[in-house]
Amino acid sequence: MSGFGAHLVKEDIVSYVALGDSFTEGMSDPYPDSDTVPNGRYRGWADRLAEHLADHVAEVRYANLAVRGKLVGQIVDEQLPRAVELAPDLVTLCAGGNDIIRPGSDPDAVASVFEGAVRELSRTGAHVVVFTGFDTNWQPVMRHMRGKIATYNMNVRAVADTYGCDVVDLWSMRILDDQRAWSWDRLHLSSEGHRRMALRVAEVLGVPVEGDWNEPWPPVAARPWRAARQDDLYWAREFLVPWIGRRLTGRSSGDNVRPKRPVLEPLRRN
């Protein structure tokens, strides 16, 4: 467990910057007023973590630079310089997932770019938290990617050891093997998944919170085989085919999307 939680209670002001892609942007976890905000507005585990931090200090200054669809190189080019400039106390960095799921990607090469980002963040004196990739064993269509993800995860752990980062091990979070942890697209966490993720990151940091990220899911009846296959077909039509189309045309879901919190500003609960 990290010593950041013990450090936290001694401070009046704590600054936190979140870097990454859709996972950190918070997609599929909308705020209640999201329908009234252009392009939608997402909460996500990072916003929830900032709220947990705010339970222990007078002021949390929070920026979230994450943008959906970003590759690790884009995060380095577009988000890292701003994070270094902001010089926060705490940084979370989850990157590489969009690279790894692309056909032909090399997890070792992706990890090399990731290491460069961690090196720069570490030089600022910030407390850095990194994340492994999820285990896709529960997802039939993406199960074949487990080997690449596992290789990348070992690289991430090696980088964390080198630079003294905390690691949130998503691979070992078996509670996320349940479909209720995921949104309809099977790639982004549901609101409940994001809530549990925030509790898990707080635990790694040693920040006291109410609630247990590993609380068992309530029992639920198994879906009939035919209904499950219909769900698979719906997912392929509504998500997989458009995703492939964007890859073939060089487009991204993050095109023309700006970071939701580009500057460090006091957290105001919604």
User: What gap in Å lies between CA 258 and CA 33, rounded to an integer?
Assistant: 18
Contacting residues for 202 by C-beta, under 8 A, at least 6 apart: 49, 52, 208, 209
Contacting residues for 186 by C-beta, under 8 A, at least 6 apart: 139, 141, 142, 179, 235, 239
Query: Quick one: pLDDT at residue 1?
Result: 56
Average pLDDT of the segment spanning 111-125 = 98
5 confidence band (pLDDT: 50, 70, 90): confident
Give all domains of the chain, ordered by start, each with its CATH number. 4-215+224-266 (3.40.50.1110)
User: What gap in Å lies between CA 267 and CA 262, rounded to an integer?
Assistant: 13
Tens of pLDDT along 70-79? 999 999 999 9
User: What gap in Å lies between CA 235 and CA 140, rounded to an integer?
Assistant: 12
| Average pLDDT along the chain | 89
Average pLDDT of the segment spanning 37-41 = 55
Residue 187 has pLDDT above 90, yes or no: no
User: What gap in Å lies between CA 202 and CA 172, rounded to an integer?
Assistant: 16
Query: Quick one: pLDDT at residue 63?
Result: 98
* More confident of the two residues 214 and 40: 214
Neighbouring CB atoms inside 10 A of 84's CB total 17
Query: Quick one: pLDDT at residue 3?
Result: 80
Backbone angles phi, psi at 65, to 5 degrees: -95, 0
Question: Taking the chain, what is the end-to-end CA distance rounded to the nearest angstrom?
Answer: 29
Chain mean position to CA 148 = 18
Poorest-confidence range of 7-11, 34-38, 115-119? Answer: 34-38
* 8 Å CB contact between 181 and 144: no
Poorest-confidence range of 106-115, 129-138, 233-242, 256-265? Answer: 233-242
Tens of pLDDT along 209-236? 999 999 999 998 776 767 666 777 777 7
